Amino acid sequence: MSTPHAPKGNNHTAPHHRVIAGITRLPYSTLFSLWVLLAALFAVAYALLATFSPANAPPQLLGLSPLTRLGDSIYFSVITATSTGYGDIFPMGFSKALASIQSISALFIFATFVTKLVSQQQEIAVKQMHRLTYEDVFHNTREGLYIIRKDFDRIIDKLERKEHLISEDWEDLAAAYKQGQSLLLEIPDFYSSEDAALYTIDERREQLLMEAVHRTLHRINHLIDACSLAEVDWTAHPESAKELKELLKVVDVVTPLWRESSPYQKHESFETVLRLKERAWNRVTSAIK
């Protein structure tokens, strides 16, 4: 007993689909030119029908001079293409089929024109929304790094004034380190290949972001130095020490990705960040055994 074959998948786009897709990709000027060309061709067809096959032509075109007939044919063609339908000229016989075909074709071209216009406006709106979203993320990232540096500054100031750090200070440090991890992990998103067509961070903003990261790592090294000078054993607070170590690991992962994705080739800035990270990392690993 033969087994019925399963229907084969459509591996190739149907010809009419390809034609439609090709038309929708045409620029506005080409679409308008196509609409005008079709109107002219159908006008010539109505005029020829009135000349050689009067029974299949709009009766109002009969008995006119060639030039007037052509002018009225153009008028009827445009009226048909725009679906205005005044009724002063109407088709008969085969011209009914021509008018129907012209009406459908013109409406399709007009609908494509409007769809492209709406789609373009939507694309512009999406790009603007995407840009505003990334601008917001960019400012939040820089502001977040500034806030955690202020937390570091407060702790450094207490250490330099020989004040005792309380448990709340260490909790604040742990939270600042954790926040720094989240902020740094967002940086590669500015260079995402999926979003590059919608938003690309410019060189000035990249420099501002790089400066924020550089200052944050410099402040971490300053904080470690301040702990050493004040003879404060920061490793005695495991949560804070753990989050600091995780933060430096994030820097180690994010920076090479950032350098590879950046289109501005500022390698010396990335090397400075890595050196600051390495300095802090060596001191952390030597202290935590």
SS3 201: coil
Run of H or E including 219? helix 203-229
> Does residue 99 form part of some domain?
no
Could you tell me if 149 and 282 lie in one domain?
Answer: yes
> Does residue 118 form part of some domain?
no
> Does residue 4 form part of some domain?
no
The last residue of one of the domains, among 74, 92, 110, is 92
> Does residue 110 form part of some domain?
no
Could you tell me if 193 and 149 lie in one domain?
Answer: yes
- Cβ–Cβ under 8 Å, residues 182 and 247: no
Tokens of 89: 């000229």
Residue type for position 173: L
pLDDT tens column, 105-148 = 999 888 888 888 887 777 777 777 767 777 888 889 999 999 99
Could you tell me if 149 and 202 lie in one domain?
Answer: yes
Mean pLDDT (whole number) for 199-226:
90
> Does residue 147 form part of some domain?
yes
Give the rounded percent of residues in the chain with a pLDDT score beyond 70: 87
Is the pLDDT score of 9 beyond 70? Answer: no
| Domain extent for 54 | 15-92
Give the rounded percent of residues in the chain with a pLDDT score beyond 90: 56
Could you tell me if 85 and 136 lie in one domain?
Answer: no
Could you tell me if 78 and 212 lie in one domain?
Answer: no
Is the pLDDT score of 7 beyond 50? Answer: no
pLDDT tens column, 19-49 = 666 666 778 888 888 899 999 999 999 999 9
Both ends of the chain: CA-CA distance in Å? Answer: 76
The last residue of one of the domains, among 72, 92, 112, is 92
User: Looking at the 3D structure of the chain, how many domains does it have?
Assistant: 2
Structure confidence at residue 163 (pLDDT): 92
CATH number at residue 162: 1.25.10
Could you tell me if 137 and 271 lie in one domain?
Answer: yes
> Does residue 10 form part of some domain?
no
- Cβ–Cβ under 8 Å, residues 111 and 179: no
Helices 203-229 and 94-160: crossing angle, nearest 10°?
A: 20
Could you tell me if 26 and 138 lie in one domain?
Answer: no
**pTM reported for the whole predicted model:** 0.60
The last residue of one of the domains, among 43, 73, 92, is 92
Could you tell me if 139 and 33 lie in one domain?
Answer: no
Could you tell me if 67 and 196 lie in one domain?
Answer: no
> Does residue 113 form part of some domain?
no
Nearest-CA neighbor of 277 among 241, 253, 243, 242?
Answer: 253
Mean pLDDT (whole number) for 197-211:
80
> Does residue 201 form part of some domain?
yes
Could you tell me if 55 and 148 lie in one domain?
Answer: no
Could you tell me if 169 and 36 lie in one domain?
Answer: no
Q: What is the 3-state secondary structure (H, E, C) of 142-184?
A: HHHHHHHHHHHHHHHHHHHCCCCCCHHHHHHHHHHHHHHHHHH
Could you tell me if 129 and 251 lie in one domain?
Answer: yes
Mean pLDDT of the chain: 86
